[in-house]
Structure 1
Amino acid sequence: MRVVAVVGDESWQPLSAINMASLPWRNSQKPKHSVVPPVTLAVVGCGQRGKAYSRYALQSPERCKVVAIAEPRPNTQSAFATKHSVDKTLVFDSWQALLAASAETISTIGKRLADAVVIAVQDHMHLDVALAFAEQGYHILCEKPMATSVDHCIKMEAAIKNAGTIFGMGHGSKELSNIVHSRVLGDLVNVVHIEPVGYYHFAHSFVRGNWSNEAKSSFSLLTKSCHDIDILCHWFSPRIPTRVSSFGSLQHFRKSAKPSAAVYLDPVTNGNTDWPAATIVDGIPDIENITTALKTGPYGLCVYESANDVCDHQVVNLEFSDGSTASFTMVAYTSLICERQTRLHFTHGEIVGDMNTYTVTDFRTGKTVQHRPKHEVGGGHGGGDLGLIEAFVQAVATGRQEVLGTDVGEVLKSHLTVFAAEASRREGRVVDCAEFENEARRRVNGDQARA
């Protein structure tokens, strides 16, 4: 029997009895002694997304700590384990090995290896990892999307609900959402939302990269923009999408003139070893490693000669249950790399802005106020990454799903809207969202009954 170090003491539960306002990190000054132990995390996948969420543990060790990891790439695994001081007995080459070690500790002493699991592996692996760790009672923070098929998303929702554990996913501006739901500007009637993916971001991730081919990953509206549809649905909640239409195609990244590979080499030469260079090598990116990766992997291929087949531009039109509407555009052809732009139109005002600033206008008073969202937690997506992990840690520490402002059912609903939009694009029809969901659930239930 393998001996495994055990971490993540649950003796301080029930967590639901803890008052959020009394938690140590809710105060302006960090206390010398925490009221509760830090939430412990097992990270499955130590790439860019795993690093982004785990950065919070380094910044706020009194709140959470990474205690176990699963990562197959040796250099990436070693660097991550060293940075987070993970015990060697809790470093695994696969999520299955981590799961087996956890099962052993549960069976022998009745404790899991950690309080929660961060799922940051490739999209097609999300379902298997989530089902396995949910069954063991782990709280789960899953990188978007939930899964790469309608059926898998429905199965994940059922597993999380059956486990009764905390579930987190996605990111967005909490401050902006608070204004929307406060109704200080009246009813939200219409939203125009744009995700400018960026020409070289799209070339990196959706032409050469992991999300270039639908058969190997999924369609780009899901893999890149499911969180945009999610935030739209969240803003309009409790109203739900009723009808959706969508149009889009792969317009430009086809065979043509071949560009240079400077998108990777030039930044490293100038000292930038972060994205995108860091994503194409195992370990620290340098000129030698990047050059080798360009010669032997897909990132050295011309974007006009790659095997990509996902849309590089798409629009989605949504109608909600009260007749309110939203339009969303995802487009590759822009220099604004993921700097989302939004216009929200209310009965008594409007909000116009992006991820850095937004302006609120009240029609009744004529007053206009500019807001700059607080990004003091830092991190990617305008502070959204670390904002999400902070909220997730609080939710786990208090046993309160509502801290996240959403739950797995709402996440599933927005994902089903994404799949319905793609069905509209492919089939050239307006899709009824309720009919689409009912058909999907009947199919999944039928498959499970036959099994």
Structure 2
Amino acid sequence: MGLDVTTSSAQPVTIAVVGCGQRGKAYSTYALQEPAKCKVVAIAEPRPKTQKSMAEAHAIDRTLIFETWQDLLKASEDAFKIVGKRLADAVVVAVQDHMHLEVVLAFAEHGYHILCEKPMSTNVEDCVAMEAAVKKAGVIFGMGHVLRYSPYNKAITEIVRSGTLGQLMNAVHVEPVGHWHFAHSYVRGSWAREAESCFSLMTKSSHDIDILCHWFSPGTPTRVSSFGSLLHFRKEAKPLEAGGSSRCLDCSYESHCPYSAKKIYLEPVSKGDKGWPANTIVDGLPDIENVTAALRSGPYGQCVYESANDVCDNQVVNLEFSTGATASFTMIATTERICERQTRLHFSHGEIVGDMRTFTVTDFRTGKSKQHTPKDEGGGHGGGDFGLISTFVEAVRTGRQGLLGTDVSDALRSHLTVFAAEKSRREGIVVDCAEFQRLAKEKLSD
């Protein structure tokens, strides 16, 4: 099958979106803001109201609306046979994590450029297989490591790369997930159980490990250790006042609980807020009736101390790099801040201290400090969402993988570092990163 590497600069890059939930919508919003650069022309989404909303927002032809990614791919294959052209230039893969591999493999084989939401997949073998398939297909590949693409982090990266502060020797990086955000996504939500998704370091913080690896590049991780547990969101921590209640709507302690589903979902909707997180627990726009129904019967109305979650709510990771530099990373659920990462980068001749909005650069040689506040250009993750999709679109338009500053092999390396950290946590050992990666690739070839 022939592969068109570039698209005409006079026409917008066309995209098919597989999975129209929160992440699929986040990336596709770029097409509405920059219609001359990007256009969503096809979608695959099984939920009727979510599908309808996405189709209407992007004025998608009804013949290009599908319930499953298999149906979308089949239509694309049929179109290629007839007119020698796929339905779109690229595909955004934003389905559940465990589905990433099969979708990426299928569309890569058909010649689609791919933007895959993090993580690549939920196990080592699938991630290695994805790298092999994408390399074989020779398509442009973008990874949902959005932190690399925010104006804030790009500005920090520029200083790191410039060498003006000397050698980067150490990083201290903290991901404050947010107490009720963690409860929403990792206690009640789709990422609550490892068997149905993956461990929380991967699903929540793989892009944090990635940005650390990015900053220390060309040095590579050599050793990693990690500790963590599920400490708070378990039955033993349930307030005595909550008694035997298993749902917030039936709990006498609900008004005093920071994890009250009424506070998190119903109260914002009652005040006219139709956005996140309430819009993720129902199909279509949330209202009092459908949100109440979801809380009465679904997982989002369960007591966080009576839920079936089993992933870590606190974890630390220590990294050593081939340059001799070190880094520590902390993921913690119980915070007031929501994903507003705090970072300290220590150089031989200075330091950078930031909070994801503003960072201060101090040069020890001059004794001067300067504060930087890069502009948030919109989208989530401090502009990282739009930064990624806009860069991906330009990479597809020009056929230049290098514009993304990474490739599928680089993405695999950072993922394997996360898997190595989890191995350390589980087994209580220091893991040799190079050996871990070697064994992972050998296993696939066996």
Over 6 Å off, 4+ runs: none
Match of 1:126? Answer: 100
CA displacement, residues 390-435 of structure 1 (integer Å, 9 cap, x when unaligned) = 1111111111111111111111000000000000000000000011
Does residue 201 (structure 1) correspond to residue 176 (structure 2)? The answer is no
The Cα shift of 1:300 comes to 0.7
Match of 1:335? Answer: 336
The Cα shift of 1:36 comes to 2.2
Within 5 Å, which residues of 2 pair with 1:129-208?
Answer: 129-169=103-143, 170-172=145-147, 173-208=153-188
Aligned residue among 60, 71, 75 for 1:86: 60
Does residue 43 (structure 1) correspond to residue 17 (structure 2)? The answer is yes
Once residues 111 and 386 of structure 2 are traced to their aligned partners in structure 1, the CA distance between those partners, rounded to angstroms, is: 24
Whether the aligned pair in 1 keeps the contact of 2:5 and 2:396 (CA below 8 Å) is no
The Cα shift of 1:71 comes to 0.2
* Greater RCO, CA 8 A, separation 6+: 2
Aligned residue among 224, 234, 247 for 2:204: 224
Once residues 148 and 204 of structure 1 are traced to their aligned partners in structure 2, the CA distance between those partners, rounded to angstroms, is: 20
The Cα shift of 1:367 comes to 2.2
Deviates more, 1:39-48 or 1:265-274: 265-274
Does residue 322 (structure 1) correspond to residue 323 (structure 2)? The answer is yes
Once residues 367 and 271 of structure 1 are traced to their aligned partners in structure 2, the CA distance between those partners, rounded to angstroms, is: 47
Across the aligned residues of Structure 1 and Structure 2, the Cα RMSD in angstroms comes to 1.4
Question: What is the TM-score normalised by the length of structure 2?
Answer: 0.92
- AA partner of residue 428 (structure 2): G
- AA partner of residue 100 (structure 2): H
SS state at 2:381 partner? coil
Within 5 Å, which residues of 2 pair with 1:312-391?
Answer: 312-376=313-377, 378-391=378-391
Deviates more, 1:48-57 or 1:365-374: 365-374
The Cα shift of 1:328 comes to 0.3
Match of 2:267? Answer: 266
Once residues 396 and 349 of structure 2 are traced to their aligned partners in structure 1, the CA distance between those partners, rounded to angstroms, is: 38
5+ unaligned residues in a row in structure 2: which ranges? 148-152, 243-253, 255-259
Once residues 277 and 343 of structure 1 are traced to their aligned partners in structure 2, the CA distance between those partners, rounded to angstroms, is: 34
- AA partner of residue 212 (structure 2): L
Does residue 116 (structure 1) correspond to residue 90 (structure 2)? The answer is yes
Question: Residues 14, 76 of structure 1: CA spacing in aligned structure 2 closer, same or farther, 3 A cutoff?
Answer: closer
5+ unaligned residues in a row in structure 1: which ranges? 1-9, 19-34, 447-451
Match of 2:6? Answer: 15
The Cα shift of 1:355 comes to 1.2
Does residue 246 (structure 1) correspond to residue 223 (structure 2)? The answer is no
The Cα shift of 1:192 comes to 0.3
Within 5 Å, which residues of 2 pair with 1:420-435?
Answer: 420-435=420-435
- AA partner of residue 339 (structure 1): E
Once residues 316 and 185 of structure 1 are traced to their aligned partners in structure 2, the CA distance between those partners, rounded to angstroms, is: 25
Identity of aligned residues (%): 68
Once residues 36 and 319 of structure 1 are traced to their aligned partners in structure 2, the CA distance between those partners, rounded to angstroms, is: 47
Q: How many pairs does the alignment contain? A: 418
Does residue 398 (structure 1) correspond to residue 398 (structure 2)? The answer is yes
Once residues 348 and 91 of structure 1 are traced to their aligned partners in structure 2, the CA distance between those partners, rounded to angstroms, is: 56
Question: Residues 14, 101 of structure 1: CA spacing in aligned structure 2 closer, same or farther, 3 A cutoff?
Answer: closer
The Cα shift of 1:177 comes to 1.2
SS state at 1:215 partner? helix
Match of 1:71? Answer: 45
The Cα shift of 1:364 comes to 1.5
- AA partner of residue 318 (structure 1): L
The Cα shift of 1:14 comes to 5.7
SS state at 2:194 partner? coil
Deviates more, 1:169-178 or 1:154-163: 169-178
- AA partner of residue 15 (structure 1): T
CA displacement, residues 365-402 of structure 1 (integer Å, 9 cap, x when unaligned) = 222111112212x0111111011101111111111111
Question: What is the TM-score normalised by the length of structure 1?
Answer: 0.91
- AA partner of residue 430 (structure 2): V
- AA partner of residue 14 (structure 2): T
